[in-house]
Amino acid sequence: MRTVHVGLVGCGTVGSGVIRILQQHREDIARHQGVDLEISLVSSRTLSKITALGVPKDRIVADWHDIVSNPDIDIVVELIGGTGVAADVILEALKAGKNVVTANKAVMASRGEEVFAAAEEHNCEIGFEGAVGGGIPIIGPLKHSLTGNEIDTVLGIVNGTTNYMLSRMNESKLTYAEALAEAQAKGFAEADPTADVDGLDAAAKIAILASIAFNSRVTIDQVPTQGIRSIAPMDFQYASRLGYQIKLLAIAHKGADGIDVRVHPAMLSKDHPLADVNGVNNAIFVHGDSVGNVMFYGEGAGSGPAASAVMGDIIEVGRHVLYDIPPIVGCTCTDQVPIKDPGEISSRYYMRFYVADEPGVLTQIAQSFGDCDVSIASVMQAPSSSDCAELIFMTHHALEANIKKALDKLFDLDVFYEFGSLIRIEEEE
């Protein structure tokens, strides 16, 4: 059996995990899978981090170009992250005829078409299981085991940071700021949490999942995204009273009129399997016409889980290299299904806001909503101070465009003080 040579670019959290797995399991993998894999060259920004992992000095190179251009390298593994140098590594490796494995959701969700075109043109394979759900296998199942299905729904809790924060706000009534500080102290949130709390990380992931599930390209810029900054502990109390749990959901539905894809906080029935996914865990719920409902659950981030997903791709691609098997599944975006206008999406809404506590206020609000075709299902009122009332509105189904118009009218009312939160109700189709 010849050795399959792997070149690793980027040796941080995930890259170091990949090195550790191969140090521990190289012989087992060769015995079980019939592939002898060697990390023959490694490059990263801080070379001392590679040395500290026990990688021999003669396998460390300062410049990633030396990996991509090396004729002995069979698979280039990109684990730098971001859309800058990482995209160059991926595309240049493919153009040099190398197979590529990456965990880079940012590149796959924004430049997936270009990456797949380069892979096809140069007869190479691209594996990216680590890009969504960390250690949870989801891209493989969507591309292999579930392909006999017409999939119409993918719902994901795909960001561990925000799921941890929302879980802590629910359990211990922490404010958003307290939950963020705690997540940062435990290493679950970055110093700059923007990509997580504003939903951008989840948007990249659902763009990738929707593209595969619906066989039609969805890019990150097509995903309307709302984060969790406005969620407050009292929203969990109201949600609970109404029978719901609050989650940051990455949502993709396909219907006869197109694809509805978005990321936002949502109220889910407490009976929904995703409602019990707490802490840093991730889960992806899929509905297919034959399989029915399936859910994939596990650790969505971390060195071990992410490296596990990357390693699975390296082994599979390694087997293809060794036995000269052409890539089994490349790009599956064969269709061009339209993406629905978000304004035309109909949901029920929960809204919390503060108004003057005086007679006639409810009539004015009801009038503003009614003028925009938004029908109110229920109202709850809690006195906040002597002249201010906290109001909770639940609407019947309303178009998002009409909700926006109704809110603009509400903000113009003299009796309106402050907006709290807006959460859509996610219902089973």
Ligand X SMILES: NC(=O)c1ccc[n+]([C@@H]2O[C@H](COP(=O)([O-])OP(=O)(O)OC[C@H]3O[C@@H](n4cnc5c(N)ncnc54)[C@H](OP(=O)(O)O)[C@@H]3O)[C@@H](O)[C@H]2O)c1
List the one residue from 60, 85, 275, 356 that touches ligand X (CB under 6 A). 85
Rounded Cα gap, residues 297 and 282, in angstroms: 6
Q: Does 103 bind ligand X (CB under 6 A)?
A: yes
Q: Smallest gap, in angstroms, from Cβ of residue 228 to ligand X?
A: 19
Comparing CB distances to ligand X, the nearer of 16 and 170 is 16
List the one residue from 12, 304, 327, 420 that touches ligand X (CB under 6 A). 12
State the alpha helices, DSSP H only, in 323-399. 361-371
Comparing CB distances to ligand X, the nearer of 1 and 191 is 191
Comparing CB distances to ligand X, the nearer of 32 and 45 is 45
List the one residue from 64, 236, 353, 369 that touches ligand X (CB under 6 A). 64
Amino acid at 64: W
Rounded Cα gap, residues 324 and 319, in angstroms: 8
Provide the token pair at 117.
């075109």
Amino acid at 229: R
Q: Does 104 bind ligand X (CB under 6 A)?
A: yes
* Residues annotated catalytic, as ranges: 205
Q: Does 137 bind ligand X (CB under 6 A)?
A: no
State the number of binding residues for ligand X (CB under 6 A).
Answer: 25
Rounded Cα gap, residues 308 and 169, in angstroms: 30
Q: Compute the Cα dihedral for 242, 244, 247, 252 and give only its sign.
A: negative
Q: Which are the contacts of 349, defined by CB distance < 8 A and separation ≥ 6?
A: 393, 394, 395, 398, 403, 422, 423, 424, 425
Q: Does 43 bind ligand X (CB under 6 A)?
A: yes
Provide the token pair at 299.
């650790």
Instruction: Return the DSSP state at 199.
Output: S
Q: Smallest gap, in angstroms, from Cβ of residue 309 to ligand X?
A: 7
* Tokens 């299981």, located at residue: 129
Q: Does 10 bind ligand X (CB under 6 A)?
A: yes
Q: Smallest gap, in angstroms, from Cβ of residue 303 to ligand X?
A: 7
Residue of this chain nearest to ligand X (CB atom) = 12
| Residues in region 223-252 near ligand X by CB under 6 A | none
Q: Are 285 and 105 in contact (CB under 8 A)?
A: no
Name the packing angle between helices 85-95 and 105-121 (round to 10°).
20
Q: Does 49 bind ligand X (CB under 6 A)?
A: yes
| Residues in region 247-306 near ligand X by CB under 6 A | 301-302, 306
* Tokens 């009539």, located at residue: 363
Q: Smallest gap, in angstroms, from Cβ of residue 408 to ligand X?
A: 37
Interacting residues with ligand X (CB under 6 A):
9-15, 43-46, 49, 64, 79-81, 85, 103-105, 130, 134, 301-302, 306
